[in-house]
Amino acid sequence: MKTILATAAIVLPLLLSADAGAYVFGGTNFSFSGYPDPFCTKPTKPFDLSDQFLVQQYNNDVDTYVRCVKEYLDNADNDRKRILEKENDLIARAKSDY
């Protein structure tokens, strides 16, 4: 009896969930050692703001940093979609078994 209740407690929520959806394409941040921090290097403001070369270099570094963080966040969003896709696949298989 306990086995039937335990199985029902696991399967019932799966049966009530949504069906599997689309495939996810794009980059990922996953690695074998867990979810990594971004490799983006935050720029440091130049000490001498009157030096136009240093200011321009800083502005370029900020642009590079922003692009890096955006790519990391886009990849993180793809990873979330992949996780949800796997969950939905499992739910769909569980529904087809019962």
| pLDDT at position 2 | 53
φ, ψ of residue 34 in degrees (nearest 5): 110, -175
Residue 28: what residue type?
Answer: T
Where in 12-67 does DSSP place strands (E)?
A: none
Cβ(57)–Cβ(43) below 8 Å: no
pLDDT digits (tens, 9 = 90+) for 10-31: 544 444 444 444 566 777 777 7
Q: Whole domain around residue 65: which residue ranges?
A: 2-97
Q: pTM for the whole thing?
A: 0.61
Count other C-beta atoms under 10 Å from residue 91's C-beta.
Answer: 19
Number of domains into which the chain is organized: 1
| pLDDT at position 23 | 65
Q: What percent of the chain has pLDDT over 90?
A: 55
Cβ(24)–Cβ(82) below 8 Å: yes
All residues at 6 or more sequence positions from 40 whose CB lies less than 8 Å from its CB, including other chains: 65, 68, 69, 72
